[in-house]
Structure 1
Amino acid sequence: MMQSKAVVTTENASKYLQQLCKHFAHKVSVDFDTSRGKVGFPFGDCTMSADEAALTIECTAKTDEELARAQNVIDDHLTRFAWREKPEISWQA
């Protein structure tokens, strides 16, 4: 199982977590509250946690390609939702 993690510094972590989860819930399985979320993509799972300083995102997938796809989906949507902040998303294996 492939894994990666990104910690995005933002005071709006809970807002973005909820926004991402609500958006993805239209198409895939999602479970979330104000501080934790889990998204089940067909190509991997992403869990998120929010505190007052950061949004932490962890993705798991069966292959490197699926992991990269999960990361790209999160990157694309978070960048659009947080466009005012221009978040720096750096994935670590």
Structure 2
Amino acid sequence: MTESRAVVGTPHASRYLQQLCKHWAHRFETEFSPTDARIALPLGETRLSASAETLTIDLTAQDAASLPDLRDVVVRHIERFAFRETLRFDWT
């Protein structure tokens, strides 16, 4: 398993977390509250945590080769919901 984390500054973290989970709930196993979420995607698991000023994204990919694709899928979807602001994803 390969892991990666991004902490994204946004005052709308809870909104994006919930939108992402609701969007994927019809296709994937999801669990969420306004502050925490888990989404089981075919490429790996996504865990999100929302505070007043940040959205923390923790990814666990099946293997190292899948990690870039998992990052890309999650980022593209969050950016769609956040079209009014520019988010910065610094992965570690």
Q: Could you say what secondary structure the match of 2:66 adopts?
A: helix
How far apart, CA to CA, are the structure 1 residues paired with 2:37 and 2:62? 20
Q: Could you say what secondary structure the match of 1:38 adopts?
A: strand
Structure 1 segments (4+ residues) deviating >3 Å? none
Q: Alignment length, in residue pairs? A: 92
Identical counterparts, % of pairs:
40
Unaligned runs of 5+ residues in structure 2 are none
Question: Any idea what the Cα deviations from partners look like across 1:19-56, whole Å, max 9, x if unmatched?
Answer: 01101112110000100000000110000000001000
How far apart, CA to CA, are the structure 1 residues paired with 2:34 and 2:50? 8
- Could you tell me which residue of structure 2 aligns to residue 81 of structure 1? 81
Q: Could you say what secondary structure the match of 2:22 adopts?
A: helix
Could you state the TM-score of these two structures normalised by the residue count of structure 1?
0.94
How far apart, CA to CA, are the structure 2 residues paired with 1:90 and 1:24? 23
Question: 29-38 or 58-67: which moved more?
Answer: 58-67
- Could you tell me which residue of structure 2 aligns to residue 53 of structure 1? 53
Taking only aligned residues, the RMSD between alpha carbons, in angstroms, comes to 0.8
- Could you tell me which residue of structure 2 aligns to residue 2 of structure 1? 2
CA positional deviation for 1:62: 2.2
Unaligned runs of 5+ residues in structure 1 are none
